[in-house]
Amino acid sequence: MIEYVRGELAELTPAYAVVETAGVGYGLNITLNTYTAVQGKKDIRLFVFESIREDSYTLYGFASKEERSMFLLLITVSGVGANTARMILSEMTPAELCGVISAGNEKILKTVKGIGLRTAQRIIVDLKDKIADLGIAEEAPAAAGQTAPEVDKEIKDEAVGALTMLGFAPAPSAKVVVAILKEQPSLPVEQVVKLALKQIK
């Protein structure tokens, strides 16, 4: 079992990171929260979850143990797979998610792509008692307001690439991303992706 990978950040997109250690490059699926945490760093450590199936071997990387713990709890819920859990943790920090679950706020959970009313209710019922052990709950998230000094074609391409890696078709993703950037041209790529996740149907 791989507990964590520490090494040089060789490649980074909002949905994927490659960490090189001892001459081996480990490709890990990441959340937007982890992307934000490691962006601009040279040497990083990501806590790992290994998804092993007959036809695939996938690594998921997290900047903190709390985020990995939240991910592991989410995938115990019926109807929530690894990609859906990653989507949830791309829209909310672990602390924000704990706050949403503690408050029983199914409306916020339903804003996440792929989460319907039943799944949202199941997440709240199944995890309400379990998240207390994490001790990281806070109030439900407010609207994001981070900005970056400049946005260009690179931001658009990176956002569309991240959405494609999350399973969305490139053409609809590009349309949504362009619309977001026209309205808010100073948004950083992680915020563009977060907003796009709420809009893509």
Q: How many CA atoms lie within 13 A of 108 on its CB side?
A: 21
Give the predicted TM-score (pTM) of the model: 0.72
Instruction: Give tens-digit pLDDT for 98-155.
Output: 989 988 999 989 888 889 999 999 999 999 888 876 655 544 444 333 333 344 578 8
Neighbours of 1 (CB within 10 A): 5
- Percent of the chain scoring above 70 in pLDDT: 90
51-54 long-range Cβ contacts below 8 angstroms, 24+ apart: 51/82
Instruction: Give tens-digit pLDDT for 168-178.
Output: 887 778 888 88
Smallest CA-to-CA distance from 174 within 184, 185, 163 is with: 163
Question: Distance (Å, rounded) from C-alpha 109 to C-alpha 101?
Answer: 9
Beta bridge partners of 142: none
Contact 122, 169 (CB under 8 A): no
Question: Distance (Å, rounded) from C-alpha 190 to C-alpha 146?
Answer: 10
Question: Distance (Å, rounded) from C-alpha 46 to C-alpha 28?
Answer: 9
Q: How confident is the model over 6-10, as a mean pLDDT?
A: 97
Instruction: Give tens-digit pLDDT for 40-61.
Output: 999 999 999 999 888 889 999 9
